[in-house]
Amino acid sequence: MQNESITFRVQPGGTLRGEARVPGDKSISHRSIMLSALAEGTTRVSGFLEAEDCLATMNAFRAMGVRIEGPEAGRVIIHGVGLRGLKAPQEPLYLGNSGTSMRLLAGLLAGQSFDTVLTGDSSLSRRPMKRVTEPLRAMGAVIATTEAGTAPLRIKGGARLKGIHYDMPVASAQVKSCLLLAGLYAEGETSVREPAPTRDHTERMLAGFSYPLRRDGDLVALRSGDKLVAHDIDVPSDISSAAFFLVGASIAESANVTLQHVGINPTRTGVIDILRLMGADIELVNPREAGGEPVADIRVRSSRLRGIEIPESLVPLAIDEFPALFVAAACAEGETRLSGAAELRVKESDRIQVMAEGLQTLGIDAQPTSDGMLVRGGCLSGGRVESHGDHRIAMAFSIAALRAAGPIEIEDCGNVNTSFPNFVELARGLGLNIVAVDGEVL
């Protein structure tokens, strides 16, 4: 499915108009499978993201004996087996490109009675895993990695875990969630303190499944010994996927787009805050709650963006949205400066370097730094850019064509299926002149 030969061809100009519902939230979809599988009873999920990353999580739990019906039109039924009901898989669990699957499963599987091996594709196999394996080992987990600290992860069953207090050196929802899941199997209390706010979907969902946890400012803690009780989940649309259209409608002429039922969890809305600081016209309509998560319809219209110094406090709240935000910066008047975002260098690609090189190819003065970028707004030309197999890079350069002087071609776009399998269709429906072409016929 992840056909790296796919190229996106996008014609310049045009606008975005209309209403759309982007796919379900990837982070919540992953967690809905994990916690439902460990719950007692049957959970029904609606709005599930049927993309490769989330399907990798689903297939891993099927391989461990969990009966899962679907997905069908975003609906999934998970028959939970309880915290101690997973069974040893017959072979290594292949997680494709999904860092969330690997890091969260590492914590969950560290407390099981059986051995497991977690593998991934070439991109995932280069991503850093020490950030989870080191604190897990401090809890008593037995995990082997490559010498570089990368996958495959070989997790020894039967380890006796003990709760620890962990001060995270870098804000990371994946590390926090990994340790909380391990804490479900550890003696005593497991607590995590984060240096800056990160997405709290795991904590919200644990509470929704009636598992007691303690939250005190920047600290979250839980103890083993309780159980998860099945609880139906309504997955909102993913603000990380909506971000491409928030930027696209801000930079295009005469644009007016409404994105429906988008999750606006306050740990995820940095992209809205940053765009508003740049002068974007963004309105939250009909705010409400769905399945314990705040949602709203988001209306965005054309505006004249201006360059800003992005507050470091907003960086963890928009970490996945910076490829799109770099495009906004390229179309803004003046300079935009980002710092405090070194995490971007160890995503599916080095997003700082790859975005800088692509923007430079399109005629923009973009200077990468060790932990961010300086972008001077200007006129985008057309050109051919490389996504390096990174889904968010591919989609970001697609919407850049709305302000480009010539066509933009983006190579290696097959991995868009990991998060947004109907991106081309939905973008075309709103007015973007984009086609996906198999590389064999180029």
Q: Among candidates 89, 170, 86, which has minimal Cα distance to 135?
A: 170
Is 320 among the catalytic positions?
Answer: yes
**Do 378 and 366 meet the contact criterion of CB atoms below 8 Å apart?**
no
Q: How far apart are CA 133 and CA 149, in angstroms?
A: 8
| Residue 45 CA: distances (Å) to CA of 71, 206, 225, 359, 391 | 9, 15, 26, 39, 25
**Do 382 and 11 meet the contact criterion of CB atoms below 8 Å apart?**
no
423-430 vs 239-251: helix crossing angle, rounded to 10:
30
Q: How far apart are CA 217 and CA 325, in angstroms?
A: 29
Pick the catalytic residue from 53, 200, 238, 320: 320
Catalytic residue annotation: 320
